[in-house]
Structure 1
Amino acid sequence: MTFAFFLGAGNIIFPPLAGFLAGENLNSAMFGFLLTAVGLPLVTLIAAALAGGGLPTMGRYLPAAVVSVMATAIFIIIGPAFAAPRTGLVAYEMALKPFLNDPGQTTLTLYTIGFFGLVLLLSLNQGRLLDAVGKVLTPILLLLLVALAVAVFVSPQGTQPQVAEAYMAQPFVKGFIEGYNTMDTFAALMFGMLILDVLRQKGVTDKRVQSRYLMIAALIAAAGLGFVYVSLFILGGTSLGVVESASNGGEIISAYVLSLFGAPGLWILAAIVSLACITTAVGLVSSCADYFHRLTGKGSYRRWVAINAVACMLVANVGLNTLISVSIPVLVACYPVAVALVLATYLRPLMRSPVFAFRLIMTVAFAFGLIDGMQAAGLNMSAFTFLPMFDIGMAWVLPTFAAAVIGLAAGKSREQAVA
C-alpha cells in the first residue's frame, strides 16, 4: 500500500529524461536522484514512525499557525499547483500525443477539459468508485514497468547519449535537485498519518508495533521505488536512436515501448497510464478538497472539488515542460524546510530545548532555501555568492546543519514535551 501511494504515473517521467541527458555521467546523476526521490521519503516515513505520526506530530514544537501554513503549502503543491495538473499532462503526453500527427494548444485544452471533468465527477464521492480500480491498476502498472525493466537490461534498444550541458559539471547535484520533482518527501509527511490510521483500523494499537510496521512498509516502498527509478534511468541512458531528442520523459518511454513491443504495447501503455493518472488525480483532488473544506469551514466539499478541478485544468494548459520548469524554483525553496523538519525530528532526543531548536532549524532552512529558490527562478542573487554551495543551489545545507548544532547546544534544561 505504501509503495502504491508513492508510485504515481507522474513520477515515472523524470528518471528517463535525466538518464538521457546525463549520458556517461548517468551513475552520479542517478545516485543524487535516488537520495531525494527514495532516500528522503524513506527517512521521512521513519521519522514519522519515531514521532508517532506525520506533520502535526513532527511539528508539535512549532507554532500551530506555522504547521497549518506548512500543511496548506504542501496540499497546494501536491494539489492544484503542480502534482495534480501534472497527472493530466502525463496522460496527455503518453496516452494521446504519440497517436497524433500535429497536436497543438487546442488539442491540449480539449483534453484537459475532458480529463479533469471526469476527475471532477469521480471526486464528488471522494474517489470511492476508484478504490477497487486503483488496487488493480497499481500491480498492472508495476508489472508493465518490470517487463520494461527486464527488456532494458536484456535488449537495450539504443545507445548512450552524449552528456547534456546541465549534467556536465555537477551531475550528482543536478540529479539530487531533479529528485525534488517527485514531491514524495512532502507526500511522506502526510502519508505517515494515513498509514498509522490504517494500522489502527487493522487492530494494531501498540505504538511500538505501529512504528515497526511503518518502518517495514517504508523499506519495502523504498526498495520498489529504487528498482523502478534505476531501470528507468538506464532506459533513458540507452535510448539514443530510439529518440534523437526529448523534452520530457514521457516521450522517451512511449518511444521505447513502441520500439520494444510495437503498436500493441503503446496502446496498453496508453490505457494503463491514463487510468493510473485518473486515479492519482482523483485522490489528489479529493484529499485537497477535503483538507480545505475542513480548514476553512466554508463551502461544501463538492464546491471545493469543483474549485480544485477547475484550477487543475487551468494550470495544466501551460503544458508539461512549462509546468515542470515553473515548479522547480518552488520546490528548491520548500524542500529544505521539509528536510529540516525531518532532521530536527531525528535530533529531538538530544535536544535540551526542543522548542528553541526546532524553530531555529526551521527558520534558517526556510530563509536559505528561499535564497536558493529565487536563484533557481532566475533572479539576480549575486549578493549571496559568498555562501558555501550557493553556486549549486544548495546554500541552505551548511547553515541548516550549523543551526542544528546550535540547537543541540542551546538550553540549560530539557523542556517538557509539547502536547
Structure 2
Amino acid sequence: MKNLSKKDLLFIGLMLFSLFFGAGNLIFPPFMGEAAGEKTWIVLLGFSVTAVGFPVLGVIAVAKSGGLTNLAKRVNPIFATIFTILIYLSIGPGLGIPRAGSLPFEMAVAPYLPESFSLKLALFIYTLIFFAIAYWLSMSPGKLVDRMGKILTPALLFLILIMLIGSFIKPLGGYGVAVNGYEVSSFFKGFIDGYLTMDTIAALNFGIVIALAIRSKGVSDDKAVVSLSIKAGLIAGVLLAIIYGMLAHLGATSGGRFGLMENGAQTLTNITMYIFGKPGAVLLASIFTLACLTTSVGLITSCSQYFSTFTSKISYENWVRILTVFSMLVANMGLTKILSISVPILNAIYPIAIMLIVLSMFDFVFKSNKYIYGLTILFTGVVSIIDAMGQAGLAKDSLLKIISYFPLYNEGLAWIVPAILGIVIGLAIKLFKEDFRAKRNIQEELSN
C-alpha cells in the first residue's frame, strides 16, 4: 500500500474545500455580516456549526460508514433508498448544480451587460460555456486533485485574498447596528443561515469523491482511506472557517457604510467597486465563476458515480452527459425560480441530514440500533417537513399550530426537541430489550 504524502493530502483538502465553496458560501457570509453588524461574530459562531462543523462531520460519517446508503440503511432500507436519491437529486441536477450555474451569471455578469443585449441569450451562452468546462473536468474524476486542488482552488483563494488585502488598504468603516432579527436571536439566526450553503447535504455526497481521489493516489487500505478522508475534511473545515470570517467581516464593515442590501451579491459588488473601482467587477465575476465551477464539478462527479451504480447500461460518462445537459437546461430557468424552490427543500432535508450525522458520530454508543436511528429520524423528519411546508404555504394551520408549541419554533429549530426525544425513546427500547434478553438467557440457563 502506498502512503499519501503531506503535499498530496493538502491538495486533496484544498479540493474538498473547493467542492464545498460555491456561490452560496460566497454571498451568504457578507450579507449575514452586513445585517448582523456588531453581532457578527456571535452570528458567525452559529453559522459555523451548520456551514463548517456538520459538513466536516458529514465527510467523516460517510467515510466511516462506507457511503451514504450504508449510513442511511441504519434507519431503514426503504428510507435509505428514498433519502439517498432525494439528497442526490436536490443537491445535484434538481437544485444545486443549476443554482451554481445560474448564480454567477445573474450576480456577477448580468448587471454589467448592455441594456440592448438579451439576458436570456446571454444566460444561455454563459451556461453553455460554464457547463462545457464542468463536463470536461468531470469526465476525468481521477484528475480532480491535480486540476482543482493544485490550480482552481489556489486561484480562488488568491482572488479572495486580494479582496481582503484591498479592504485593509482602503477600509470600509466600522460595524453597523444589527437588524432583521440578528439583534435578538444572533446565534440561532446564524445556525439557520448555515443551511443555505447546502454543505451538510453536499458532504454526504462528496465523501465518495474524496475516497476516489485518495485511492487514485495509490492508497488501497480502507482504514487509511477513512483516516485520510477525516484529515482532508479538517483541512477544508479550517479553510472554510477562515474564509467565512473574512467575508463576514467585510460584510459587517460594508453595512456601516452602505446600509443593508437585498442580497449578498450586491454587498460584494459594493465592496469590490468601492475598493477597486470598475476592475472590481472583473475580480468579482472571476471569484463567482471559479467558486461555482468547482462546486458544480464535485456535484456532477458524485451524482454520476452514485447513479451509475443503479444499472450497468448507463455508464459514469453517460451520466455526466445527462446531468450536465439537464442542469444547464434547468439553470436557464433563472435564479429566482431556482431559489424559490430551494429554501423549503433545504429546511425539510437539512435537519434529517444533521441528525443522521449526529447519530453516526455516537454510533459507538448506539451500535446502529434501528429503534434509535428510526425514531430519531422519524420525529425529526415529521416536524421539519411540516415546518418547511408551512413556509411554502402548503401545510394545514392545525399542524403548524401543534409544532408552534415546540421549543425553539420561532428560531426555526422546532425539530431539535423531537429529535432528542427520538434518541431517548429509542435508547430506552434498546436497553429494555437488552435487559429482557439477558434475563431470558439467565432463565434458560437455570432451566437447563
Q: Which TM class, normalised by the smaller chain length? A: 0.7 to 0.9
| Total equivalences in the alignment | 412
The answer to whether residue 72 in structure 2 is matched with residue 59 in structure 1 is yes
Q: What percentage of residue pairs aligned between the two structures are identical?
A: 36
Contact 2:68 2:205 in 1 (8 A): yes
- TM-score under structure 1 length normalisation: 0.86
Task: Supply the distance in 2 between the matched residues of 1:203 and 1:286 (Cα, whole angstroms).
Answer: 20
Contact 1:40 1:185 in 2 (8 A): yes
Q: Which residue of 2 aligns with 1:13?
A: 27
Which residue of 420, 434, 437 maps to 1:413? 434
Change in Cα spacing, 1:245 to 1:390, as seen in structure 2 (3 Å) is closer
Contact 1:247 1:321 in 2 (8 A): no
Secondary structure of the 2:262 match is coil
Q: Which residue of 2 aligns with 1:92?
A: 105
Contact 1:9 1:273 in 2 (8 A): yes
Deviation at 1:144, TM superposition (A): 1.6
- Written as runs of structure 1 = structure 2, the 5 A alignment for 1:261-276 is 261-276=276-291
Deviation at 1:37, TM superposition (A): 0.3
Secondary structure of the 2:255 match is coil
Which residue of 233, 236, 251 maps to 2:251? 236
Change in Cα spacing, 1:304 to 1:215, as seen in structure 2 (3 Å) is closer
Question: More deviation in 93-102 or 124-133?
Answer: 124-133
Task: Supply the distance in 1 between the matched residues of 2:368 and 2:61 (Cα, whole angstroms).
Answer: 19
Question: More deviation in 95-104 or 225-234?
Answer: 95-104
Task: Supply the distance in 1 between the matched residues of 2:137 and 2:311 (Cα, whole angstroms).
Answer: 18
Contact 1:293 1:300 in 2 (8 A): yes
Q: Which amino acid letter does the alignment assign opposite residue 29 of structure 1?
A: V
Question: More deviation in 28-37 or 207-216?
Answer: 207-216
Task: Supply the distance in 1 between the matched residues of 2:263 and 2:324 (Cα, whole angstroms).
Answer: 24
Q: Which amino acid letter does the alignment assign opposite residue 84 of structure 1?
A: I
**Structure 2: stretches of 5+ with no match in the other structure:** 1-11, 438-448
Deviation at 1:354, TM superposition (A): 0.9
Which structure is larger by alpha-carbon Rg, 1 or 2?
Answer: 2
Q: Which residue of 2 aligns with 1:392?
A: 411
The answer to whether residue 62 in structure 2 is matched with residue 48 in structure 1 is yes
**Structure 1: stretches of 5+ with no match in the other structure:** none
- TM-score under structure 2 length normalisation: 0.81
The answer to whether residue 355 in structure 2 is matched with residue 340 in structure 1 is yes
Task: Supply the distance in 1 between the matched residues of 2:73 and 2:383 (Cα, whole angstroms).
Answer: 23
Change in Cα spacing, 1:294 to 1:42, as seen in structure 2 (3 Å) is closer
Task: Supply the distance in 2 between the matched residues of 1:256 and 1:300 (Cα, whole angstroms).
Answer: 45
Q: Which residue of 2 aligns with 1:186?
A: 201
Deviation at 1:122, TM superposition (A): 4.3
Change in Cα spacing, 1:309 to 1:207, as seen in structure 2 (3 Å) is closer
Contact 2:167 2:275 in 1 (8 A): no
Task: Supply the distance in 2 between the matched residues of 1:9 and 1:169 (Cα, whole angstroms).
Answer: 27
TM-align CA RMSD: 3.0
Q: Which amino acid letter does the alignment assign opposite residue 419 of structure 2?
A: T
Change in Cα spacing, 1:111 to 1:272, as seen in structure 2 (3 Å) is same
Secondary structure of the 2:434 match is coil
Task: Supply the distance in 2 between the matched residues of 1:127 and 1:171 (Cα, whole angstroms).
Answer: 39
Question: More deviation in 177-186 or 128-137?
Answer: 128-137
Contact 1:124 1:302 in 2 (8 A): no
Secondary structure of the 2:66 match is coil
Task: Supply the distance in 2 between the matched residues of 1:322 and 1:137 (Cα, whole angstroms).
Answer: 29
Task: Supply the distance in 1 between the matched residues of 2:235 and 2:317 (Cα, whole angstroms).
Answer: 35
Task: Supply the distance in 1 between the matched residues of 2:57 and 2:242 (Cα, whole angstroms).
Answer: 18
Secondary structure of the 2:261 match is coil
Q: Which amino acid letter does the alignment assign opposite residue 213 of structure 1?
A: L
- Written as runs of structure 1 = structure 2, the 5 A alignment for 1:8-407 is 8-49=22-63, 51-100=64-113, 102=115, 106-107=118-119, 109-122=120-133, 127-128=138-139, 131=144, 133-134=147-148, 135-152=150-167, 155-240=170-255, 243-289=258-304, 291-295=306-310, 308-309=323-324, 311-317=326-332, 319-320=334-335, 323-351=338-366, 354-378=369-393, 379=395, 380=397, 381-407=400-426
Deviation at 1:73, TM superposition (A): 1.1
Deviation at 1:57, TM superposition (A): 3.0
